[in-house]
Structure 1
C-alpha cells in the first residue's frame, strides 16, 4: 500500500516540508531540524510537545486528551507526537513548546570592562541542554564577553542516553556532530564582533579554544561512536585529552587555532566535572570537599588534594521538566520560588512573565513548603483537605499552585502526587550518591565545603534543598555556588598550562564509582532511605526535625 504524502508548514519558522501520512508531526519536525519540546522523546507520555493546528485536517491518538485542557482544545492544541496528517496542514509551535534564546536564564555572571588587546581564546562548555562560550583575553586572562545557546542536539533527544540511541540510526552520529558544531559556530560568531576587540575583529585573533563536556558530548563533538559509553566499562579513551586544530572538526577558526578537549574520568563523568573541580580548586584543598553539579546528569565529586571520588546520578528528569506535569526548564515564565501560608500561595516567575510552568528551583521550594505546612507527609502524599487540592482527570490528587486566570496557558498549574514522587526519586539519587561516596570512611559531617555547580544550582535555595533532603544537613555557610563551573574551569585551562596539567592529573587519579552497577548494594540502600522527605533517618536532618516539631 502506497503511503500518502502531504505538505506541512511549520510556524513561526515559516518552513515548508513534506510529511508522510504515517509519520507524526513530531517525527517530521525532527527530520527537518525543527525543535519541538519533547521530553519523553516522542513516546507519548509527557505531553510537552504541544502544537496548534492553523489549517488542514489531522488525526490524533485518544490518549493525547490526557495532556490538554478544555481551553487548549478550544484553541486547536494537539500533541505533536500523537498527531498525524490527513491533509496538507499548517501548524504553529507555541512559545511553551519552543526553544527561544531570549527565554534562557544567564548563569554566567561577569562585569564587562575591557576589550581584547591582541589575541583571544574561547572557553566552551558543551552541556546536554546548553552550550556556553567565553571570550577570554589571553594577555590578561579576563573574560571579555560570553554567549550561550540551547544545544541543537536537543531536537534528537533531551538526555545523553537518547542521543546515544539516536546515533545508532542511519546518519545519526553525523547529524548529532553537525548540529553541535553549528551551535558552537553560532556562539563564536556572536563573540567575534567589533565591540569586543580594540583593533579589527576577525577569526585570526582567536589562537586557542578549550572545550569541556560530559563524555557523550565530547564523543559526539569528535564524531566517535558513543555506544561504548552505555556498556559501563572503564576504558583509557575516557581519560584521554585531545590536542588538535579546531578547523579539523569544522569549528569556525583560523588554520592555526589550537583546540584542547578536557579529559574525562568515566562513562558518565566527563571533562565538565574535571573543569568543575578545577574551578572550585577542591583538588588542592587540605580539607574534605563535596561538589555537586545539579545539571542533567547530577555528577558528584568528594575529596581533597590526597584523593578524589566521582560518580554520576540522574538529576535531570524531574528538575528539568520531563517527569512533572507542568515542569519546565528555568526559562521565561517558569515559577522559581514559592511560599505557602494557609490557602495562600505566593510565587515568583522568571522575567516576571505570566507563569507557564515550574522549574527545578520552584519544585524544590514548592515541595518543601508543602511539607513544612503539613499539606503532604514524609512520603509526599497529601494529608489534609485544602481548597487547592483536587483530583485530576486520571484520578491522581493534585495541588493547584496557580489558578488558570493568572497563568499564560489558560488553565491551572498544578503539582500532582506523581510529580512529587518523581522529584523525591531524583533528590534521593543525588543525596544517596553523595552518601555512598562517604562509605570510604568519611562522613558527611566531615565535609568542610560543599560546592554547587551548574546553571540550575545557581537558582537553588539551600535551606529548602535541605528540607527536601536533596542536600546534606550542614551549616549553610559551608555551601558555595560556583555557577557554570565547567565553563569557568575551561577558562582557567585555556589561560594556564598548569591548570591543564592539573586536569590531566585529576583524570588519572580520581576513582570513578559506577552507581548503576552498585555491586555491594550500598547505593541502593542509601537511595531507599532517601526516598522520604527529608530522609528515613531524621537524625541526619536535625535542622528539619526542629522545623517540623
Structure 2
C-alpha cells in the first residue's frame, strides 16, 4: 500500500531546536526571518510518500527481539530527495544557516509524517486480526539488514523511487523504516511491550516498574534503584557519580560513554553516530540517551582529567631564591571556570606558588555551557549544582592545605557570573532570559565556612561534613573575597583577567581575549574599557567534537600533514585518546592548507562519511575528524572573530593601533598563533602583538589578595567598563556570517 496524503505542518519549535537555536542565540532574530522566508519553499520541496507491506523477518535480519520467521509489517516513509539536494546546494554556496534550516525542515516533516501513520497501521492490522507486539527501528533491537528486508518486501525501489546502499542505508537519506512485529488473533497494539522503551511518554496506560541499576566505576560498585523513567545519566547525577555530559544530555557530544555489561539497552541514533558497530555490540552506549528497560549493570570510566596541568606563570620560588613551603602567611586564589576549577596556594610575602590544584568542574554533568546550567538551576537543581561546586572546592582546599595543616589568611575567588551565582545559591531565573539581569555582581566578602556551607541542611550536607573533617574553627573563619563582575555575560573572571595583565593601567589601548566555552573579550586602557561576550561554545575545549577531549594526557594537541602523511603529537606523548581544542584547530588548518576543506568548510567527499583519520586510539579504533567537527569550529571561530571586530568598531580603533593583545585561558596558552590566524580566528595583524598570559583570572585573584590597592583597582575596572551587547548589534550579525568563510591557500 502506498500513501502520499500527509497533513503535516512544520513545528517551528522543533526546527529551531534541531539546529540548536534558542532565544538567547546571537542570531535568533535572523534565524526566525530565514525560517519564515524558507517555509513555503520547504513545503514545495517535500515529496512525502510511504509504503506498507506484510512479510517475515529473514535470517540475515533476525535478532533476539525479532527471531527469523517472525511475521512483520514493514513501513518505509520518505520525504524525497529534493529537500536534501536543496540543503546540500545551500551548504555548497556557503549559505550555512539556510542549509541547516533546510535539513531541519526535512527532519521535522519526516518525524511527523512517520507518527501520523500510526492509526493506519493499526487499522490494517485490525482488518487481518493481527496485534502488534513491538515496534523496531534499525538498529534499535534489530540489525540494519532489516532495512533491506523492508526495502525488498515493500517494493520501495520502484514504488517510491528509492535505492538502498551496500550498508543498508536508505536513499533518499531523509527516509525512515519501521518494523512492526505481529501477533495472530491479538487485539493488543503495542509500540513496545515494555513501557520503558515506548517513545510515547504521554500515554495514559504507561506504567514504569522500578529497576535495579548497578554501576561499576573505578573498581567500586554502586547499587541504585530508579522508580522514575530517567536516563542512566540522570540516575547517576542524582547519586553524585560523575560522568561528563558537555552537551547537557542532548546526545551530541559523545562524552557520557558507558558500557552495558548486563541487561538490555536499545541502540539510539546518537549511539550509532558516536560508536562503531563493534563497540555497539560490546554494549557501549551514551548515558544521556540510555533508558534502562530492565535491571542493568553499567561500567563507567573516569576520564584522565585529573591529570591536567594548571596553566599559569607564577614562580615556585621566593624573591630570595628559596622554595616556597607554606611556613609563612599564605593565601589561596581560585578561578571557577565553566569547564575547570584552578586553585593556587601562594606565599603572601613573595607571591611564590607553593602548590596548585586543577580539576574538571563537575557541574559539567549538567552541561558544558552556562545556559545549560542556568536551565538546570531553574528546573530545581540549584542545590545540587551548589553542592557540586562546594565539593570541588573542598577537594582542592584539602589538597592545598595538606588536610588542614596549613591555614590560609584569605581566599580570593574569580569566576564568571553564572558560576558565582551557582556557588552562592543565588536564583538564576533572570540570568538566561532578557534582559539578562544578575541577582548580584558586587564584591562579596564572606568566610570559608559560609561559602562551603557550614549551615547546610539535609540532603545537601556533604560539603559541611567535609569541612568538619578538614577544618578547625580558624579555617571556618578564613576570610573569602569574590571579585566583582561587570554584567551577566562579563563576570569577575574577566575583571580578574584585566587586573592580571595590567590593561587598565596603561595609556595605550590593548585587547584581552579569553577563549573558552564563552569567548569573553575587552579593549581599552586606563580611561575607558569596552567588554563583550560571544557564545563560542565548547569546541575550543574539545566539546561537541566527535572524538573531542579535554587537555588531558593522550589528547592530540599538534597535527601536521606532510607528503600525504599525518603526523600528530599528544599531551605528555601518551597514546592517542581524543582531540583537544588546539588539536582540532591544527587539524582544520592542515586540512585547509592541503585543499581537503574548501572555503565554505566542506570536507572533501572521500572523507564525508568516515571522517579524516588522525590516529588509532588505545582501543585500536580510529580517531577521526569529521564534517560536523568543522562546522562546530566554523561557528566558534566566526563568533569570536566577529565579536573581536565589533569591539574594534565600537571603540573606533583599527587593529593596527592596538598595542598588545593579551590571550588568556588554557586554550590560548597552547594555541599555535600562526594556525589560529590561518583559519581566521585572529586577524593576521595581531600575530606579533599577542602576549599569552595563561590563567589570567587565577593570577588576577592572587594579585587581588596580595597587593595593596588591587581591590580598589578592580573596582575601578568595573566603573570604567561598558558592555557591548552583540545579539542586537547589526555589525556583529553581518560579521558573523562574513567570517563563516575560510581563506584557503
Preserved contact between residue 324 and residue 419 of structure 1 (Cα < 8 Å): yes
Of residues 49, 53, 61, the one that matches 2:268 is 61
Counterpart check, 1:356 vs 2:577: yes
In the TM superposition, residue 507 of structure 1 has moved relative to its aligned partner by 1.1
| 2:306 aligned residue | 102
Post-superposition offset of 1:306: 1.6
> For residues 193 and 185 of structure 1, what CA distance do their matches in structure 2 show?
12
Give the direction of change, closer, same or farther, for the CA distance of 1:149–1:46 in structure 2 (3 Å limit): closer
CA contact (8 A) 2:313 2:693 kept: no
Question: In the alignment, which residue of structure 2 is the partner of 1:369?
Answer: 590
Q: Please show how residues 372-521 of structure 1 align to structure 2 within 5 Å.
A: 372-383=593-604, 389-392=606-609, 398-402=611-615, 406-439=616-649, 440-474=651-685, 476-518=687-729, 521=730
How far is the alpha carbon of 1:344 from its aligned partner?
0.5
Pick the aligned partner of 2:241 from 17, 24, 34: 34
- Residue 85 of structure 1: SS of its match in structure 2? coil
For 1:46-85, what aligned pairs fall within 5 Å after superposition? Answer: 46-85=253-292
SS in 2 for 1:91: strand
Separation (CA, whole Å) in 2 of partners of 1:418 and 1:101: 24
CA shift digits 1:73-126 (9 cap, x unpaired): 2332122222222332221113xxx34443423323545321123322111101
Give, in whole Å, the separation in 1 of the partners of 2:619 and 2:726: 39
1:209–1:432 distance in 2 versus 1, CA, 3 Å = same
**Does the Cα contact within 8 Å between 1:329 and 1:359 map onto a contact in 2?**
yes
Matched, 1:523 2:744: no
In structure 2, do the counterparts of structure 1 residues 239 and 442 end up closer, same or farther at CA, with 3 Å as the change threshold? farther
Q: Please tell me whether the aligned partners of residues 108 and 146 of structure 1 are also in contact (alpha carbons under 8 angstroms).
A: no
Q: Deviations over 1:345-370 (max 9, x none)?
A: 10111122222221110111111111
Q: 1:168 to 1:469 in 2, by over 3 A?
A: same
What is the aligned partner in structure 2 of residue 283 from structure 1? Answer: 504
Between the aligned partners of 1:458 and 1:292, the Cα distance in structure 2 is 11
Give the secondary structure class of the aligned counterpart of 2:379.
coil
User: Out of 380, 388, 397, which is 1:188 matched to?
Assistant: 397
Q: Distance in 2 between matches of 1:192 and 1:47?
A: 36
Alignment partners' CA distance in 2, 1:87 and 1:258 = 50
Cα distance between partner residues in 2 of 1:241 and 1:234: 19
RMSD between superposed Cα atoms in Å: 2.1
1:121 and 2:331 are equivalent in the alignment: yes
For the residue of structure 2 that corresponds to 1:497, the secondary structure is coil
Partner residue, 1:541: none
Q: Deviations over 1:282-334 (max 9, x none)?
A: 11112111111011111001111121011111223322233222222211221
CA contact (8 A) 1:232 1:267 kept: no
Q: Determine the C-alpha separation between the residues in 2 that align with 1:400 and 1:115.
A: 47
Q: Determine if the alignment matches structure 1 residue 151 to structure 2 residue 354.
A: no
Q: Secondary structure at the match of 1:123?
A: strand
Shift of 1:235: 5.5
Cα separation, partners in 2 of 1:54 and 1:478, compared to 1, 3 Å: same
Maintained 8 Å contact 1:119/1:139: yes
Distance in 2 (alpha carbons) for counterparts of 1:233 and 1:75: 48
Structure 2 unaligned runs (5+)?
Answer: 1-205, 317-322, 454-466
Instruction: Give me the TM-score of the superposition, normalised by structure 2.
Output: 0.66
Alignment correspondent of 1:197: none
Change (3 A) 1:433 1:8: same
Q: Report the counterpart of residue 202 of structure 1 in structure 2.
A: 405
CA shift for structure 1 position 177: 1.0
CA gap of 1:390–1:526, structure 2 versus 1, over 3 A, is closer
- C-alpha distance in 2 between matches for 1:390 and 1:421: 14
- Residues 314 and 352, structure 2, Cα contact 8 Å, conserved in 1: no
CA distance in 1, matches of 2:232, 2:485: 38
Task: Tell me the residue number matched to 1:218.
Answer: 420
Which stretch of structure 1 is more off in the superposition, 124-133 or 345-354? 345-354
1:2: how far off?
Answer: 4.1
Equivalents in 1 of 2:284, 2:337: separation in Å? Answer: 31
CA distance in 1, matches of 2:227, 2:706: 51
Using the alignment, how far apart are the partners of 1:256 and 1:26 within structure 2? 37
Residues 258-281 of structure 1: per-residue CA shift (max 9 Å, x gap):
111100011111000000001110
Q: Is residue 176 of structure 1 aligned with residue 385 of structure 2?
A: yes
Does structure 1 residue 5 correspond to structure 2 residue 226?
no
Per-residue deviation at 1:20?
3.7
1:161 aligns with 2:371: yes
Instruction: Check conservation: 2:438, 2:488, Cα contact below 8 A.
Output: no
Q: Which runs of 4+ in 1 moved over 6 A?
A: none
How far apart, in 1, do the equivalents of 2:476 and 2:623 lie? 52
Q: Distance in 2 between matches of 1:341 and 1:140?
A: 48
Q: Secondary structure at the match of 2:266?
A: strand
Gaps in structure 1 of 5+ consecutive residues: 195-200, 535-544
Say which structure, 1 or 2, has more relative contact order (CA 8 Å, 6+ apart).
Answer: 1
Q: Deviations over 1:507-547 (max 9, x none)?
A: 121011111232xx01111111111114xxxxxxxxxx8xx
- Report what 2:12 is aligned to: none
Distance 1:227 1:104 in 2: 33
Q: 2:346 aligns with which of 129, 136, 140?
A: 136
CA contact (8 A) 2:246 2:365 kept: no
Structure 1 counterpart SS, 2:351: coil
2:553 pairs, out of 332, 337, 341, with: 332
User: In the superposition, relative to structure 1, how do residues 219 and 475 fare at CA in structure 2: closer, same or farther (>3 Å)?
Assistant: closer
Partner of 1:539: none
Deviation of 1:443 (Å) = 1.0
Classify the secondary structure of the residue corresponding to 1:267. coil
